[in-house]
Amino acid sequence: MDQPRMIRWSFHVATWKPTPELIQTLLTKIPAHERTKIKRFRFPMDARRALIGQLIARAAVMALIPAPSREKWADVKVERDKYGKPFLSFPDIPHLLFNISHHGDWVIVAAGYGSQLGVDVSRFEKPTNETLDEYFAAFDEIFTPNEWGYINGETTQEGDGGRKRSARAEMLRKHTLNAERLRRFVTLWALKESFVKAIGIGLGLDLMRVEFCVKDADKNDAAPGHALHDDIAATPHITVSLDNIPQAQYTFHMSYLDSYHPAAYCYLPVSDNHTSEDTAVGSSGNDGRNAKDGNMMSVDHRVNGRGEGMGLGEDDSKACAGFREMSWEELSVRIEACERG
């Protein structure tokens, strides 16, 4: 059987209830430096997300290693580059990439053969101590004017014949509009993060140089909170430009793991005239990402911090279009098989 060229898995960590003994056992199965980082987490859920990320990523990579080069679990080496991005250091398999993201209830991984690969999962969370406009103000130099136009653009509403709305109707209308604005905001955030992670230069990219254009599909194409496209192909409604130059070589896919968690995927295939080193996105004179506080990591914490969930439809944690949901039972079987070699 031919090796798969691309894997995209998700894991619903919120429903995983490991015993302390199992956690300790699993920690022995990951590199010592990653084990040390996980033990420093203050909250158990953060530690579980990071642990599952390490395990599921290694399982995905090992599923793609050709049989003649197949190594045992303990023999596979994963290291981090100078930007902190993990990569497969042993065995040396050209163009075999992987990327992890975890937030909220989910962990996702993509692995496959290509030139660049990045993923990001985020969560719709309504700010609790400020208005949505006040919340957005902290990101005014993260998104371009066109992107803000998409975020704040009015959604299609049914006409009301000029009748005056009741206070309740007006409150519901504002809630619906804000939910849509937040959905678009988090959609663009996840796409930008997937692109930054794919090119792998850490904090060295001014995000104002990167502009996404997202054309939402027709309402009949998908229910709110669910994937617009559930196949592996590129989502035709998403394009990106770098310094106003379209980057048509990249494939993007946006799907929803449930009604609260969008997941973005960015992929650049290997070609004869393009390698991962060819993307000179870090050449701007501005060495940091263009956030007000000069630190994208603190902005990322605001986007992905704890808050009140604002779902966009009926919760459906099993409908993981684009990223196949993996159970703990399946993952544990894969780990055991990889350990046997």
CA distances for 91 relative to 65, 129, 248, 266, 338, angstroms: 9, 49, 32, 24, 14
Alpha carbon distance 53, 78 (integer Å): 13
Tokens at 253, concatenated? 């896919």
The stretches in the chain having pLDDT less than 70 are: 1-4, 68-69, 154-165, 168-171, 173, 202-203, 216-236, 272-321
Query: Would residue 275 count as lying in a domain?
Result: no
Q: CA 295, 296, 302: angle at the middle one, nearest 5?
A: 105
CA distance 123 to 180: 14
Based on the domain organization, do 44 and 87 belong to the same domain? Answer: yes
Evaluate whether residue 237 is within a structural domain: yes
Q: Which residues of 128-167 are buried (b: 16+ CB within 10 A; e: fewer)?
A: eeeebeebbebbeebbbeebbebbeeeeeeeeeeeeeeee
Within a domain: residue 210?
yes
Looking at the fold, whether 20 and 148 belong to one and the same domain comes out as no
pTM of the model: 0.79
Residue in this structure with the two tokens 């992890």, named with its chain if needed: 100
Whether 167 is in a domain gets the answer yes
Residue 26 lies in a domain: yes
Question: Do residue 18 and residue 109 come from a single domain?
Answer: yes
Domain count, the chain: 2
Please give the residue range of the domain that contains residue 54: 6-122+322-340
Q: 241-272: per-residue pLDDT in tens?
A: 999 999 999 999 999 999 899 999 999 998 75
Model pLDDT, residue 172? 72
Domain identity same for 145 and 286: yes
- 301 and 161 in a single domain? The answer is yes
Q: Is residue 187 part of a domain?
A: yes
Which residues are CB-contacts of 200 (< 8 A; sequence separation ≥ 6)?
81, 83, 85, 116, 118, 276
Q: Is residue 226 part of a domain?
A: yes
pLDDT score for 200? 86
Q: Domain containing 60 — which CATH number? A: 3.90.470.20
Characterize the bridge pairing of strands 324-325 and 6-12: parallel
Same domain, 144 and 292: yes
Are 89 and 65 in contact by the 8 Å Cβ rule? The answer is: no
* Domain shared by 31 and 104, yes or no: yes
Residue pair 135/127 in contact by the 8 Å Cβ criterion: yes
Give the per-residue pLDDT at 315. 32
Residues 202 and 180 in one domain: yes
Phi, psi of 180 (to 5 degrees): -70, -40
**Whether 305 and 194 share a structural domain:** yes
pLDDT of residue 203: 63
Q: Looking at the structure, do residues 111 and 215 belong to the same domain, yes or no?
A: no
Q: Which residues fall within 8 angstroms of residue 201, CB to CB, at 6 or more apart?
A: 83, 281, 282
Task: State whether 42 and 93 are in the same domain.
Answer: yes
201 shares a domain with 54? no
Handedness of CA 62, 66, 71, 77 (dihedral sign): negative
Q: What angle do CA 57, 327, 310 make, to 5 degrees?
A: 90
**And the tokens for 70?**
């197949």
> Would 316 be classed as within a structural domain?
no
